[in-house]
Amino acid sequence: MPTPAPTSASPVAARILDAAVRRFAADGIRTVSADRVIAEAGVSKVTFYRHFPTKDALVVAYLTAVAEAERAAVDEYRAAHPGDARAVLDAYADVLGGAACLPGFRGCPFINAAAEYADPGHPVRAVVAEHRRWMVSTATELLTALGVPGAAAAAEELVMLRDGAMVAGYVGGPDTGEAVAGHLRRAGAAIVAAHRPPAS
């Protein structure tokens, strides 16, 4: 997945968030304490809590940064392939496949966060839900542009496929990551084909 580039009006807050991005991506959210982020960012506890009153606030900022990076990446694909929704979907599949090949890949940060925060009313889950709505909405727009009937239902299926690819890239064998992009393309094409009426 695209690497988030933390942005903030405060350079100190950006440094803290950058440290959190590295640690959460590498080790998971629950296992990384606020003290560990504080040490990696090289700030005092007072400074940390001034910018992020709780660790949960930092997690929300982390997921927001990841979501913004993914949305910016999709915007770049759309700008690079104007009017070619299929190329945009293929570019997204290629990027996900490339991410799954990276050393230390731990799967989708949103799926992982949802697993670690069981309460659906938690602010972390709100960020997860909002990003998922964006994924489905974006897929629906692209499939509609391709003239796929039932684009909304097909979009839900593509997002489920994407979820499975992220899990496979994490828990699969050493060669799984390299195959993710190809699997995504073929399975995604099958979903699209299943929603098209049979040729008469």
**Pick from 14, 54, 11: which is nearest to 33 by CA?**
54
Secondary-structure class of domain 55-195 per CATH:
mainly alpha
**Structural domain boundaries of the chain?**
55-195
Q: Band the pLDDT of 25: cuts 50, 70, 90.
A: confident
Following DSSP, what letter does each residue of 66-125 receive, concatenated?
HHHHHHHHHHHHHHHSTT-HHHHHHHHHHHHHHHHHSTT----HHHHHHHH---TTSHHH
Check whether 196 has a pLDDT greater than 90. Answer: no
> In Å, how far are 6, 78, 106, 177, 192 from 2, measured between CA atoms?
12, 15, 14, 15, 25
**What's at 196, amino acid-wise?**
R
Lowest mean pLDDT among 68-72, 74-78, 177-181: 177-181
